[in-house]
Amino acid sequence: MATRALVAGAGGFIGHHLTKYLVDRGYWVRGVDIKEPAYEPSAAQEFELLDLRRWDNCLLATRGVEEVYHLAADMGGIGYIDNHHVDAARNNVLASTHILEASRLNGVRRFFFSSSACVYPQILQNAPEVTPLREEDAAPYDPDEGYGWEKLFTEKLCQYYYEDCGLETRVARFHNVYGPLGTYDGGREKAPAAICRKVGLAMPGDEIEVWGDGFQTRSFMYIVDCTEGIFKLMHSDHRQPLNLGTDHLVTINGLVDMVCQIANKNLKKWHNLEGPQGVRGRNSDNSRLRSVLGWEPSIPLTEGMTITYRWIEDQLINAGSIAPVNSSSS
């Protein structure tokens, strides 16, 4: 008999991809979100529009399933989370506390929570040449305001639900996940998608806006690696938070140059020093990930960004925002 799972947040980017991954592995999946996937139908055998900030909806969502993958969150890129501390903290705490307790009451066996590298202290991320962040570096605590504090609180709540109630909980700290079928405009998009959109819309020789001086650094993980890592962690014996990302550091300027090369466009950069920038540097230490799972993300950034750019370019063409691209120039 197929394992029955709930993907909370199945209308979002990671949740949508995870739903497809689980169904492909023979799972029966109930997808739940306040919205349906934006770019293609969900692969879930059952999809329910439910607001998980409500207790009664969490009881409905978790009925009759063995595993819960909790990715539902009010979030976005740095431009969104820097300006919506109340929404991110309140909405996510409500959903997370309700779905954990509903999972306990409904006899769920395993519970996955999607945390974030935003839980790490900002003092460790104030230089582009950042030392990769180890899981134990989260303490003493000084996470990102709003979103980061909520993630840290729910990490502890997952720990308590295992210690006090016996619910097998797993926590991954995501490091900048990207890929196709994700938001690329509207204000909630993250850096890779925003850069792909800006480059896609630009004409050769144009100038595109880059937030900050562009020397801030990040590591980025392609969505296929992310779903694989979630599944491996869920079925491991590791109960403490675990980094899930790559340890390949790149500057934002370097990411822009990479996308320009993929698009075969020579563009100029305008550095908006007043734009939201986040921390100066953030990278994942994957030592524990390799030790626990015997695995780590492996898809090269250039490969993942090529797929992502081509998908966003197609969306812009289909929307009539740009003209179709000749194969000789792509």
DSSP category for residue 281: B
* Angle value at C-alpha 230, between 159 and 245, nearest 5 degrees: 95
CB 60 within 8 A of CB 48: yes
Mapped onto helix, strand or coil, the DSSP state of residue 99 is helix
Catalytic residue among 147, 161, 178, 184: 147
Let me know if 147 is a catalytic residue. yes
Q: Which two tokens stand for residue 148?
A: 């980061």
DSSP bridge partners of 29: 5
Burial of 156 (0-12, 13-18, 19+ CB in 10 A): exposed
Q: Are 161 and 167 in contact (CB under 8 A)?
A: yes
Look up residue 62 and give its DSSP letter: T
**Token pair 């700290």: residue:** 173
Q: 276 and 78 in contact (C-beta within 8 Å)?
A: yes
Rounded (10°) angle between helices 223-234 and 13-24: 60
Instruction: Enumerate the active-site residues.
Output: 147
